[in-house]
Chain A
Amino acid sequence: MFDLLQKLFGRETSKSKDIAKERLRLVLVHDRVNVSPQFMEVLKEDMIKAISNYMEINEKDMEVTLTQTNTSQVALVANIPVNRMKRGALPAE
């Protein structure tokens, strides 16, 4: 009945099994590569250090996560907002 009401009012919620699958997929990526949150934090800090030589980045909104590609490969995904390029760091042409 509740389902029907939800449909009538156009509030189609996503199926809970899809949520389960997605959550499982993410948690398994981390389980399988066996990396700790500390490991990810250290990796992130090293990335910041390296990238900061070339550009000014927004460290607060930066995201570094492991995920899985369509071909079941583990991928490191980094979303790093750039505030400004450091001109001086570019190699001379």
Chain B
Amino acid sequence: MGEVIVITSGKGGVGKTTTTANLGTGFALMGKKVVLIDADIGLRNLDVVMGLENRIVYDLVDVTEGNCRLKQALIRDKRYETLYLLPAAQTRDKNAVSPDQMQKLCKDLAQDFDYVLIDCPAGIEQGFKNAIAGADRAVIVTTPEVSAVRDADRIIGLLEAEGKSNPKLIVNRIRPHMVKKGDMMDIDDIIEILAVDLLGIIPEDEYIVISTNRGEPAVVNPASAASTAYKNIVRRMMGENVPLMSMEAESGFFGRLKKIFGFKEG
């Protein structure tokens, strides 16, 4: 019986889909059998971030409405043996599925997969309720900005109200040089305010844009700073004790030098 994990944030644009794609691919790189569900019905995007947009035949709503069998709708990523995607429907809206249907779907998938990752839509309405319905645990993505942290706090409250307590936090797009100057909230500030456990931090990385252009998650490129961060998070989610990577080393001349010569951060 696998684990069902929802990736959520409240605010849009903080990196839920990118995080889902990279963590999912990261699990596959570790040899785990993983399926990614795009729960953003009407605004599907996980397929393009994964580079699987040309292979969609059936989608999530086809499965819940019984137009196809679950196995038929799953797209296997040819690059990684154990990675699958269940795409969202693009021509329907959030009300096309119910929390009960999502719960059943997640349960069915958890029979066959080690990890089921759900990419949650932004907002706190029906789409959010559907996405979290079948999840065993939640990962919250935020960025070091007032608006994103505020929304994360709201999501933490709503998850708790739904009986999904103890979510884990990923702080995305940290810019070490701005933190150093005191112009960006640091991890301690955010953790203190939200009072949740930290799962990991992802440094701002231009390579994310390139990887999205190509439809190939950044986690597979060892030269990307975000790649190491994603891999560390994957290992933590698998129960390993991996220390936080130092952000200092990622910035500045020596950081770049280290990256050029391929030294890896803890």
Q: Which of B17-25, B178-186, B201-209 touches A? A: B178-186
**Chain B contacts of A72 at CB under 8 A?**
195
Q: Does A1 sit within 8 A of B, measured CB to CB? A: no
B182 in contact with A15 (CB, 8 Å): yes
The chain B residue sitting closest to A23, CB to CB, is B146
Contact of A21 among B153, B179, B189 (CB under 8 A): B189
CA distance A25 to B183 in the complex (A): 17
* Interface pair B182/A17, CB less than 8 Å apart: yes
Tell me, in angstroms, the Cα distance from A50 to B182 when the chains sit together: 46
- On whether the beta carbons of B193 and A24 are closer than 8 Å, the reply is yes
Given that A24-B146, A25-B193, A28-B193 are known contacts, is A18 also in contact with B182, CB under 8 Å in the complex? Answer: yes
One digit per residue, 1 when the CB lies within 8 angstroms of any chain A CB and 0 when it does not, for chain B 137-154 equals: 000000001100110011
Among A17, A21, A28, A32, the residue within 8 A (CB) of B183 is A17
Contact A24 B182 (CB under 8 A): no
Q: Which of A3, A15, A20 has the most CB of B within 10 A?
A: A20
* CB neighbours of A21 from chain B (8 A): 185, 189, 193
Report Cα–Cα, A28/B146, bound state, in Å. 10
Given contacts A25-B193, A32-B153, contact A17 B146 (CB under 8 A): no
User: Is the pair B150, A28 in contact by a Cβ cutoff of 8 Å?
Assistant: yes
Q: Which B residue's beta carbon lies closest to that of A3?
A: B181
Chain B residue with Cβ nearest A27:
B150
B239 to chain A, nearest CB (A): 30
Q: How far is the CA of A23 from the CA of B181 in the complex (A)?
A: 19
Asked if B186 and A28 make an inter-chain contact with CB atoms under 8 angstroms apart, the answer reads: no
Answer yes or no: A93 CB below 8 A from chain B CBs. no
| Residues in chain A near residue B31, CB distance under 8 A | none
Chain B residues contacting A32 (CB-CB under 8 Å) are 153, 157
CB neighbors of B among A22-38 (8 A): 23-25, 27-28, 31-32
Q: Which residues of B contact A31 (CB under 8 A)?
A: 150, 153-154
Chain B interface (Cβ within 8 Å of chain A)? Answer: 145-146, 149-150, 153-154, 157, 179, 181-186, 189, 193, 195
Residues of A bordering B, CB below 8 Å: 3, 15-18, 20-21, 23-25, 27-28, 31-32, 72
Q: Which 8 A-B pairs have the closest CB atoms?
A: A15-B182, A17-B185, A16-B183, A20-B146, A17-B182, A24-B146, A21-B189, A28-B153
